[in-house]
């Protein structure tokens, strides 16, 4: 804001406004209009969609997350994964896409990742008719899963969240879990079928967590955050 001297004017001349404020004759310029380019509009649209998708996914995965509500680092990480994925225009792609790195790299817990406590190769693949199949090979729990002292059994929890990117709030989810005695006996190979969870223009993300329970009159969960690993185990589009 500048002050007028000598000649006192009122009104607008091109991009300059002459006016009076608290008895003082003033002058200022009209703010320039910012014209949004197509990339700018797309970035704004992607950001809004990413935030909605991320919030919907966290709601579906609340059973798997070590904290409720999710901490800010996880929120930022999920938002960022969706935003970076949308930047490559995947919604225009008609091909099936399996295991999207931007999602598969997501961990739900900064203190511990699944790979640090689970020493086994679990195959997650797309089956027929929109199915997803989880294949566990045979394993010995005490040799394969790191656990805190006194652990009686372990649960492996899965949630498959399926999103329609045109309506991300309406996220469908399917839950299943394995309960494993924590001992030296071999657990036989197991196949888990998640039926009809993928499809055209749908994004399907499989979340996984490990929870530990101690022996007692009642099974007592281990509530230490450092023993609550979780993350994305698979992702599929189309």
pLDDT tens-digit series, residues 144-191: 999 999 999 999 999 999 999 888 888 999 999 999 999 999 999 999
Instruction: Give the closest residue to 209 by CA, choosing from 230, 234, 223, 235.
Output: 230
Whether residue 45 is predicted with pLDDT greater than 90 in this model: the reply is no
Q: What is the pLDDT of residue 137?
A: 98
Contact 155, 179 (CB under 8 A): yes
H helix or E strand, kind and range, residue 61 = none
pTM of the model: 0.82
CA distance linking residue 204 with residue 219, whole number of Å: 32
Lowest mean pLDDT among 45-49, 171-175, 182-186, 228-232: 45-49
Task: Pinpoint the alpha helices (H) of 4-111.
Answer: 38-60, 72-87, 101-104
Three-class DSSP category at 232: strand
């Amino acid at each position: 804001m500048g002050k007028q001297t000598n000649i006192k004017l009122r009104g607008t001349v091109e991009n300059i406004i002459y006016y009076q404020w608290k008895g003082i004759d003033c002058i200022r310029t009209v703010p320039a209009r910012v014209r949004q380019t197509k990339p700018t509009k797309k970035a704004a649209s992607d950001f809004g969609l990413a935030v909605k998708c991320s919030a919907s996914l966290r709601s579906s995965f609340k059973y798997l997350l070590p904290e409720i509500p999710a901490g800010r680092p996880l929120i930022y990480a999920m938002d960022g994964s969706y935003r970076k994925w949308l930047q490559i225009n995947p919604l225009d792609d008609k091909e099936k896409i399996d295991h999207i790195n931007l999602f598969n790299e997501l961990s739900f817990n900064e203190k511990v990742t699944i790979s640090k406590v689970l020493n086994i190769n679990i195959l997650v693949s797309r089956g027929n008719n929109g199915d997803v199949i989880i294949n566990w090979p045979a394993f010995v729990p005490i040799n394969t899963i790191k656990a805190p002292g006194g652990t009686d059994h372990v649960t492996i929890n899965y949630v498959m969240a399926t999103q329609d990117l045109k309506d991300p709030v309406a996220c469908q989810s399917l839950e299943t879990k394995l309960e494993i005695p924590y001992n030296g006996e071999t657990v036989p190979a197991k196949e888990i079928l998640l039926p009809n969870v993928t499809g055209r223009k749908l994004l399907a993300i499989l979340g996984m967590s490990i929870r530990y329970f101690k022996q007692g009159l009642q099974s007592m969960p281990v509530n230490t955050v450092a023993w609550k690993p979780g993350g994305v185990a698979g992702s599929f589009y189309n």
